[in-house]
Structure 1
Amino acid sequence: MKNKKNTILIVNLIFIILFLGCEDVLETTAYSELTTETILNSEDGINSVLNDSYAEFRDSYLYRIWGPDITTGFVWSRGGSIEVDFVDYENFTWSTTHAQINTHWQTLYQAIRNANIVLANLAGDNFSGEFVQLKTAEARFLRAYSYYELYSVFGPVPLLTTPEDLILPRASEEEIKTFITNELTAAAADLPWPSDAFGRATKGSALGVLTKFYLNTKQWSHAASTAQEIISSNQHELMDNYKDVFSFEHEGNSELLWAITYNSQGANQFLNALVFPNAGYPFPPGNSAFAAVTYVFDDKVDMFDESDSRSDLIVKQYTNTNTGQVVQLYGNDQSIPAKYPHDPNASGTFEGQDIPVVRYADILLSRAEALNETEGPTQEAIDLINQVRERAGASAVSTGDFTQESLRNFILQERTREFYFEGKSRSDQIRHGVFISNAQARGVNNAQPHHRLFPIPQAEMDANPEMIQNEGY
């Protein structure tokens, strides 16, 4: 019976994973070289299934970047298909059939499915103990990260932990929080600090995601201690130059605890094609854009000190290559978030910028926030914040500048300055209790408390009779 189930799963995988197109570090044996009898009995086969989980994360970058930052009022978009998918985020009018919400759910559960398949097939005599330990940890990390993302946007969801799990009710809050914590802790214990390939899970990846999970669930002491474990490891550090964190020349740099990797030769994305104007913008050779453009509001540009180099990655004006005229963006709520550089090897709209998931700067600010919540504005919390600010050329702050409440507000603003257009603003505002009130203050009258969660996709409601919809939808 088990062999029959495995064969069915293998056949499904072969159709799903036609090619991975990963960077060299994640490439695997082509599926044409693997048969249904060998795929889950070989290291190449196990790695290929795991690689498909990594590939699933690549497919949700539109949600990962645009969705959170649009709902929080940092950016807005117009033109082309972006209006179909993302104006609903701006207006808080998303529904149970929203395409990007459905895609986000599907890709994360596909990653979970693949991790479950790997975990179910690592037992036996086919693999060395070292291989089993490493791949078990990697699969548990990928599964836990997927549930972390699902929980962040949908609340508790069904916990599918075996390939046979298909229809289950939603887990309780305590069940899913305990599961994510235990899985990330177990993965961190067996993953290496450095990886043999950038983009694969490491101990830093697991501890970094765990730090963010503790922070977003307001487990302050755990967030502080897990962040300190990363800091004390001396495995990661801030880059000297903020711009270099995102540059092609410094891909895989020491500030990145984990990133979703891309390349322009197959595992590509078109992030910048939905950011920059498609006519008259001075693109490097080989680059182009769609009709959609993404803009930063002026009041967000004004958040930065004049000396703050982080705002240098926001384009405030440019010279139109067709007319020779200067196009003024700032002052019209139309500055452009150019945080991700153009790919010198781009093929039109297809580029290969990696997208950070957890950075060392996030660990520093997470510990600072957790310390403030438990102890108030300590010198250590201020020093952690100043490490981030000083790297950017922003003025240092001191303990005497703050009460606990004012430092809490300052940290939220500092996180906005540091992580704009990295998809962190929504969870930050929800944690600080201002997500809905901020939306209402900027005139989004549709924003209501239930919008702190997205709806369970209607397709899932139809497929799972055990599913209960989120309140308000």
Structure 2
Amino acid sequence: MKLYKLSLALFLGLGAMATTSCEDKLDVTNPNQQTTGTFGFNADDLEECVIAAYNHIRMEGSSARVGYTLDVTRGDEVWNSSQVWYMPFDDMDDPVTDEISMWPWREAYYTINVCNFILSRTTGDDASLSESMKRIKGQALFLRGYSYYTLAGYYQNPALITDYANYSSLDGLYGKNSTYDDVLDQVEKDFAEAMTLLPSRDAGGEWAKGRATCGAAAGYYARTLMLRHKYSDALTVLKDIMNKKYGSYKLMANYGDNFREGSAYENNDESLFEIQYLDYGSQGVDDEWTPVNTSPNATQGHAVESNFAPGRFGGWADLSASPWLYNLFKQERTKDGKLDPRLYWTIGTYESDWIGFENGNVAYKSEMTPNDTIVTNNNYGGLPIAKWTNFRTNLYDKVTTGLHCGINLRMMRYSDVLLRAAECENEVNGPTQQAIDWINQVRERASLKDLSLSDFDTKDKLFEQIANVERPKEFGCEYGRGYDLIRWGFFYDQGRLAQLKEHGTFRRSPYKAKEPVSYSLVGVDPELKSSYDTYVPGHEFLPIYQGLLNDNPNLTGNSANTNTDNSTDFFGRGWTVHPVVNLGK
């Protein structure tokens, strides 16, 4: 009643004003109908834009499911155990008519569009910006660079749009393809500028938790340089990170702390950048899939767990760890004669070594036994992936499928800095003791025996150790392996392609999931198959969706659309592929 009387009084008052002066007009901006002419001229408005940009790197098409797992399936550490969902991506022959392949594209350009708007409001000399505006601009640059890094890694030659004014006309809105190098030039530029604008995690304090910092920008800058074999430049940046120029980072004493949820573990000392999700029990109930969340009760978790988790515990049972990765872990024991503890958090198998270790032989609160083999898919078997799930955490006994997992996805960890620095050092000067020392820092956390320089007489041999032993065991079943395989040229060398086929061989059976498999028996043993059997040249990248090409007359397809072999371009740059080395000799 009071509100009604107040509204009536205001109405009568405005009416009285109108009778005394018909020429006067009340100019009021409707906060619910903002336009580019009224919005974005202060830090508060632009902070809202930054939040919107972060939101779309954590959607189903970016990280919450499809955008993350498409690269996981591209690697040799994972295979498609459901034999349905993700099948074309695992077989590396995705057709141009598959709309799913467009989802990362859509989310990336949403983020880019928002970032371009922010950057249109933060022009001029960076030194003249306030501290809050520097942080806003730095985050926009990082998120735009991050999005184009994703686009180049997935789609090879996407449209490069950096000026918000381009959206004012159809010619500008319908961008044409840019070259791989032009896109990565811009990515390097964005990350390099973000490094100068953003605070370190130390200086940022509570603000820095969950946000991009100069350390995150530096880490991704080094990654981008390595995509184009700029090893010397990348090594300089990686050394600066290790020397704390961009903040303090260190390896967590417990490897498993990188894969648990909760404030005690997430945004920890090892994390350069991670995607934020709400913890279990603190999110909404409505699963809202692509393209946007609109419900006030929308969930704020990811569905990577649903894709990884075994069917027995309610998971979708889509993706499994490769037998190659499992048996790679089994080949080397710790100094105490135990299994590598990283296996515990990577693959969900029963092992006698796990008795008394962490939560023991647990699978979603169920006690595993030697005779009770848990497979990913009830029909096709597979070794369950434990990462980005609560398989080992003892938090709950069954998966609530959908966008409900609250474990933050650590997109770059300090161990990656160390192993990348070792790789760059080996490329520039190797093999060297310095490269060995950086590798040994990562191995020491796993209680593995130190490597010795005397065991690596050539650059090729040390590269083999980094690429096919150290990195798979440290980052197995995580995002990024597909990017590595492309930059290393493994799709363009017959020896390396044969190696990928060997690594990617799996058994379609609910039995014998742990057994080693051999590509030589594919076609002989009907249960065996390799993810790379149907690889079509050019399909190391995702095709640009035909619907996008139909809608945009300026856009053309990439190598996956045309089945074009990229080896000529790779070798034409003067790049080489390390030959396969047998580390047993």
Give the TM-score normalised by structure 1. Answer: 0.84
Structure 2: distance between partners of 1:89 and 1:439: 15
Which residue number corresponds to residue 328 of structure 1? Answer: 373
SS in structure 1 opposite 2:80? strand
RMSD: 2.8
Residues 433 and 39 (structure 1 numbering): CA distance in 2 closer, same or farther, change over 3 Å? Answer: same
Structure 1: distance between partners of 2:177 and 2:188: 18
Quote the offset at 1:199 in angstroms.
Answer: 1.6
Out of 321, 327, 330, which is 1:302 matched to? 327
Structure 2: distance between partners of 1:464 and 1:431: 29
Quote the offset at 1:54 in angstroms.
Answer: 1.1
Structure 2: distance between partners of 1:39 and 1:120: 12
Quote the offset at 1:177 in angstroms.
Answer: 2.5
Structure 1: distance between partners of 2:137 and 2:257: 33
Quote the offset at 1:408 in angstroms.
Answer: 0.7
Out of 411, 419, 435, which is 1:381 matched to? 435
Aligned letter for 1:36?
Q
Quote the offset at 1:322 in angstroms.
Answer: 12
Counterparts of 1:214-363 in structure 2, within 5 Å, are 214-233=225-244, 235-248=248-261, 249-264=264-279, 265=283, 266-279=299-312, 281=313, 289-304=314-329, 305-307=332-334, 308-313=340-345, 314-317=347-350, 326-329=371-374, 334-342=382-390, 344=395, 348-349=400-401, 350-363=404-417
Contact 1:440-1:447 at 8 Å conserved across structures:
no
Structure 2: distance between partners of 1:446 and 1:123: 48
Quote the offset at 1:448 in angstroms.
Answer: 2.9
Which residue number corresponds to residue 432 of structure 1? Answer: 488
Structure 2: distance between partners of 1:96 and 1:387: 44
Structure 2: distance between partners of 1:393 and 1:323: 25
Structure 1: distance between partners of 2:475 and 2:536: 25
Aligned letter for 1:48?
E
Aligned letter for 2:400?
G
Residue 406 of structure 1 pairs with residue 433 of structure 2? no
Residues 326 and 33 (structure 1 numbering): CA distance in 2 closer, same or farther, change over 3 Å? Answer: farther
Q: How many pairs does the alignment contain?
A: 429
Structure 2: distance between partners of 1:446 and 1:367: 34
SS in structure 1 opposite 2:559? coil
Contact 2:210-2:276 at 8 Å conserved across structures:
yes
Gaps of 5+ in 2: 1-29, 167-172, 284-298, 335-339, 351-360, 506-529, 562-585
Structure 2: distance between partners of 1:394 and 1:112: 43
Which residue number corresponds to residue 120 of structure 1? Answer: 120
Out of 160, 169, 176, which is 2:183 matched to? 176
Which residue number corresponds to residue 134 of structure 2? Answer: 133
Contact 2:85-2:318 at 8 Å conserved across structures:
no
Contact 2:134-2:197 at 8 Å conserved across structures:
yes
Counterparts of 1:151-230 in structure 2, within 5 Å, are 151-165=152-166, 166-194=173-201, 195=204, 196-230=207-241
Quote the offset at 1:170 in angstroms.
Answer: 1.7
Aligned letter for 1:171?
S
Quote the offset at 1:69 in angstroms.
Answer: 2.5
Which residue number corresponds to residue 294 of structure 2? Answer: none
Counterparts of 1:78-89 in structure 2, within 5 Å, are 78-79=81-82, 83-89=83-89
Residues 129 and 433 (structure 1 numbering): CA distance in 2 closer, same or farther, change over 3 Å? Answer: same
Structure 1: distance between partners of 2:94 and 2:45: 39
Question: Cα deviation per residue 1:341-395 (whole Å; 9 max; x = unaligned)?
Answer: 4284898331211001111100111110011011111111000000001111222
Which residue number corresponds to residue 25 of structure 1? Answer: none
Structure 1: distance between partners of 2:325 and 2:381: 9
Aligned letter for 1:300?
L
Aligned letter for 1:250?
Y
Quote the offset at 1:185 in angstroms.
Answer: 0.6
Question: Cα deviation per residue 1:192-228 (whole Å; 9 max; x = unaligned)?
Answer: 0023141211000100100111112211001101101
Residues 101 and 270 (structure 1 numbering): CA distance in 2 closer, same or farther, change over 3 Å? Answer: same
Residues 89 and 472 (structure 1 numbering): CA distance in 2 closer, same or farther, change over 3 Å? Answer: closer
Aligned letter for 1:275?
F
Structure 1: distance between partners of 2:367 and 2:237: 52
Residues 323 and 394 (structure 1 numbering): CA distance in 2 closer, same or farther, change over 3 Å? Answer: closer
Quote the offset at 1:51 in angstroms.
Answer: 1.3
Residues 401 and 348 (structure 1 numbering): CA distance in 2 closer, same or farther, change over 3 Å? Answer: same
Which residue number corresponds to residue 34 of structure 2? Answer: 36
Of 306-315 and 144-153, the range deviating more from structure 2: 306-315
Structure 2: distance between partners of 1:240 and 1:133: 34
Contact 1:319-1:325 at 8 Å conserved across structures:
no
Residues 132 and 470 (structure 1 numbering): CA distance in 2 closer, same or farther, change over 3 Å? Answer: same
Aligned letter for 1:463?
D
Question: Cα deviation per residue 1:125-172 (whole Å; 9 max; x = unaligned)?
Answer: xx9722222211111111111111111111122111122321222223
Structure whose alpha-carbon radius of gyration is higher: 2
Contact 1:296-1:337 at 8 Å conserved across structures:
yes
Quote the offset at 1:293 in angstroms.
Answer: 4.3
Structure 2: distance between partners of 1:291 and 1:471: 32
Aligned letter for 1:467?
L
Aligned letter for 2:190?
E
Residue 72 of structure 1 pairs with residue 85 of structure 2? no
Structure 1: distance between partners of 2:89 and 2:333: 31
SS in structure 2 opposite 1:115? helix
Which residue number corresponds to residue 463 of structure 1? Answer: 551
Aligned letter for 2:328?
M
Structure 1: distance between partners of 2:372 and 2:320: 13
SS in structure 2 opposite 1:259? strand
Contact 2:157-2:558 at 8 Å conserved across structures:
no
Which residue number corresponds to residue 421 of structure 2? Answer: 367
SS in structure 2 opposite 1:106? helix
Residues 472 and 185 (structure 1 numbering): CA distance in 2 closer, same or farther, change over 3 Å? Answer: closer
Which residue number corresponds to residue 472 of structure 2? Answer: 416
Question: Cα deviation per residue 1:427-447 (whole Å; 9 max; x = unaligned)?
Answer: 112222224614445443321
Quote the offset at 1:44 in angstroms.
Answer: 3.2
Contact 2:310-2:375 at 8 Å conserved across structures:
no
Percent identical among aligned pairs is 26
Greater helix share, structure number: 1
SS in structure 2 opposite 1:405? helix
Give the TM-score normalised by structure 2. Answer: 0.68
Counterparts of 1:12-27 in structure 2, within 5 Å, are none
Quote the offset at 1:39 in angstroms.
Answer: 4.3
Of 56-65 and 363-372, the range deviating more from structure 2: 56-65
SS in structure 1 opposite 2:328? coil
